[in-house]
């Protein structure tokens, strides 16, 4: 049995970033870019009108912002005419159209006076723009970025805005770290599918869907492999199938029972044990190993079958591994830990730290942690609504209300007042 910190350190040592892959832009949303995106052209690609109005020559406006100009061409967004604006002329122009040669600024249509706002090519417009500045309402070519500029550095996440910039820069495919593929295998001869009515002695496979949801929430690509009974041959075949993925997450079969076959079957399949059993409650039986091949490796997590143990171990061990595989530097990802004041007493265990479900609140008096009712490793009800895990150190006895404790704030759980 090892300490939690040592176990986490081993996971961080073994997990490695996946091999980058070139994928279509929309397949990369949310992923980390491995290579910077450089602009294939300028943005804007030409001087662009930023208002609906009249494209004018700066010099044609009098000092008070007035001018009487002949409209020589109409330009909507997308129109190009090749007609130049000579002194005394202007173009009727809409937002998004390229500024015609000779023009330097746009006077908004609201500044056309005496009913001349409707003037089109062949007509005349009278302008009065008291706030006229030379060059106004024009986005100059290459002011956002120029051809060859880095618009998104390596290491950045492809956010919605990043998708927009990438398209603007002409990128259709990008090099990213793919989402880790995570095979999920529920072991136990007592298990029945989630939609079945369990008979006496049978249990619905709740861990399978729960872990699938956890993998999705962690940005992984779940590969559900269903249920396998506690039979060595069947388990061996299922683990071998799972090893095609980057990660195999098993639930059940890692404790000390007669049919807890996961460690031995994994060893048979060439998975090297890294640790088995961590000083932790819930989750003590957790098992971790690595299967190395020529072209890479698969990490194998044997999570205990009890649902609360499975989920706590997923959050403490599997999530950091998935983050590292997706490009977060080792040590760069962790669930935030905060100091909080207990709102009610909580009892620690003698032999190992407890990670118990709690509510977390930010109040005027600081952060509070309210222990949630929790009957142990088979009880998920508290965890389903818990924003945090209360860390109760081994041998701390009963901690009274008002005591300061450490809380692990769970990812994706909104804390009121935060
Ligand atoms: P094990 O870790 O295999 O000894 O299982 C511990 C407890 O968790 C037993 O009561 C199992 O029935 C239960 N369990 C195991 N796997 C699952 C699962 N996939 N869904 C729900 N409960 C499970
Ligand atoms: Mg079992």
CATH number at residue 84: 2.170.190.11
Q: Kindly list the strands in the beta sheet with 53-56, ordered across the sheet, starting from the edge strand earlier in the chain.
A: 105-108, 53-56, 89-93, 66-75, 124-128
Number of helices (H), then strands (E), belonging to the chain: the values are: 8, 28
Smallest CA separation from ligand 1 atom 10, residue: 306
The enclosing domain of 279 has a CATH number of 3.40.980.10
Distance (angstroms) between ligand 2 centre and the Cα of 323 equals 28
140 token code pair: 């100059």
29 and 120 in a single domain? The answer is: no
H or E, element range at 56? strand 53-56
CA angle 319, 323, 327 (to 5 degrees): 170
351 token code pair: 């032999």
Domain ranges, residue 58: 48-139
Instruction: Evaluate whether residue 417 is within a structural domain.
Output: no
221 token code pair: 């690509």
324 and 207 in a single domain? The answer is: yes
Ligand 1 atom nearest residue 251's Cα: 16
Instruction: Evaluate whether residue 418 is within a structural domain.
Output: no
What span, in angstroms and rounded, lies between the C-alpha atoms of 304 and 197? 23
170 and 306 in a single domain? The answer is: no
Q: Is the CB of 368 under 6 A from ligand 1?
A: no
Q: Is the CB of 302 under 6 A from ligand 1?
A: no
Distance (angstroms) between ligand 1 centre and the Cα of 307 equals 7
H or E, element range at 319? helix 319-325
The number of distinct structural domains making up the chain is 4
What span, in angstroms and rounded, lies between the C-alpha atoms of 205 and 227? 8
Distance (angstroms) between ligand 2 centre and the Cα of 182 equals 21
Distance (angstroms) between ligand 1 centre and the Cα of 369 equals 29
pLDDT tens-place values along the chain, 418 residues long: 999 999 999 999 999 999 999 999 999 998 889 999 999 999 999 999 999 999 999 999 999 999 999 999 999 999 988 899 999 999 999 999 999 999 999 999 999 999 999 999 999 999 999 999 999 999 999 999 999 999 999 989 999 999 999 999 999 999 999 999 999 999 999 999 999 999 999 999 999 999 999 999 999 999 999 999 999 999 999 999 999 999 999 999 999 888 899 999 999 999 999 999 999 999 999 999 999 998 899 999 999 999 999 999 999 999 999 999 988 876 766 777 899 999 999 999 889 999 999 999 999 989 999 999 999 999 999 999 999 999 999 999 999 999 999 999 987 666 666 5
Ligand 1 atom nearest residue 186's Cα: 19
Distance (angstroms) between ligand 2 centre and the Cα of 248 equals 17
277 and 380 in a single domain? The answer is: no
Q: Which ligand is nearest to the CA of 186?
A: 1
Of 81, 115, 139, the domain-final residue: 139
Phi then psi dihedrals of residue 282, to 5 deg? -85, 160
154 token code pair: 């390596």
25 and 110 in a single domain? The answer is: no
Smallest CA separation from ligand 1 atom 15, residue: 305
Is-above-0.95 flag for pTM? no
196 and 297 in a single domain? The answer is: yes
Q: Which ligand is nearest to the CA of 230?
A: 2
286 and 245 in a single domain? The answer is: yes
28 and 168 in a single domain? The answer is: yes
Contacting residues for 230 by C-beta, under 8 A, at least 6 apart: 187, 188, 189, 253, 259, 261
236 and 119 in a single domain? The answer is: no
271 and 200 in a single domain? The answer is: yes
- Residue that the structure tokens 């006076």 belong to: 113
How far is residue 141 CA from its own chain's centroid? 33
């Amino acid at each position: 049995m090892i300490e939690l910190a040592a176990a986490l350190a081993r996971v961080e040592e073994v997990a490695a970033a996946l091999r980058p892959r070139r994928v279509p832009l929309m397949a990369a949303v949310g992923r980390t870019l491995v290579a910077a995106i450089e602009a294939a052209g300028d943005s804007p690609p030409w001087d662009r009108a930023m208002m609906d109005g009249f494209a004018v020559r700066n010099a044609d406006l009098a000092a008070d912002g007035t001018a009487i100009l002949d409209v020589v061409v109409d330009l909507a967004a997308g129109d190009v005419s090749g007609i130049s604006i000579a002194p005394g002329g202007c173009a009727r122009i809409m937002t998004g159209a390229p500024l015609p040669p000779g023009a330097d600024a746009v006077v908004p249509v609201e500044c056309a006076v005496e009913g001349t706002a409707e003037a089109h090519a062949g007509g005349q417009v009278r302008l009065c723009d008291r706030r006229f500045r030379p060059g106004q309402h024009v986005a100059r070519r290459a002011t956002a970025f120029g051809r060859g500029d880095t618009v998104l550095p390596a290491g950045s996440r492809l956010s919605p805005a990043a998708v927009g910039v990438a398209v603007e820069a002409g990128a259709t495919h990008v090099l990213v770290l793919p989402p880790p593929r995570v095979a999920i295998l529920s072991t136990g001869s007592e298990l029945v599918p989630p939609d079945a009515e369990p008979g006496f002695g049978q249990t619905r496979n709740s861990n399978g869907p729960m872990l699938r949801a956890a993998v999705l929430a962690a940005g992984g690509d779940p590969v559900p492999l269903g249920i396998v009974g506690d039979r060595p041959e069947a388990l061996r075949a299922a683990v071998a199938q799972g090893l095609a993925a980057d990660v195999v997450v098993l639930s059940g079969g890692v404790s000390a029972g007669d049919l807890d076959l996961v460690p031995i079957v994994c060893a048979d399949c060439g998975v090297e044990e890294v640790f088995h059993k961590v000083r932790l409650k819930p989750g003590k039986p957790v098992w971790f190993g690595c299967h190395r091949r020529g072209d890479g490796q698969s990490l194998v997590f044997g999570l205990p079958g009890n649902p609360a143990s499975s989920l706590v171990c997923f959050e403490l061990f599997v999530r950091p591994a998935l983050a590292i595989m997706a490009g977060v530097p080792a040590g760069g990802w962790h669930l935030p830990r905060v100091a909080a004041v207990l709102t009610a007493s909580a009892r620690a265990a003698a032999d190992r730290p407890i990670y118990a479900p709690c509510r977390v609140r930010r109040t005027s008096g600081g952060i509070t942690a309210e222990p949630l009712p929790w009957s142990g490793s088979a009880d998920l009800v508290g965890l389903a609504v818990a924003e945090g895990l209360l860390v109760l150190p081994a041998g701390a006895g009963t901690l009274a209300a008002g005591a300061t404790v450490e809380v692990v704030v769970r990812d994706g759980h909104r804390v009121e007042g935060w």
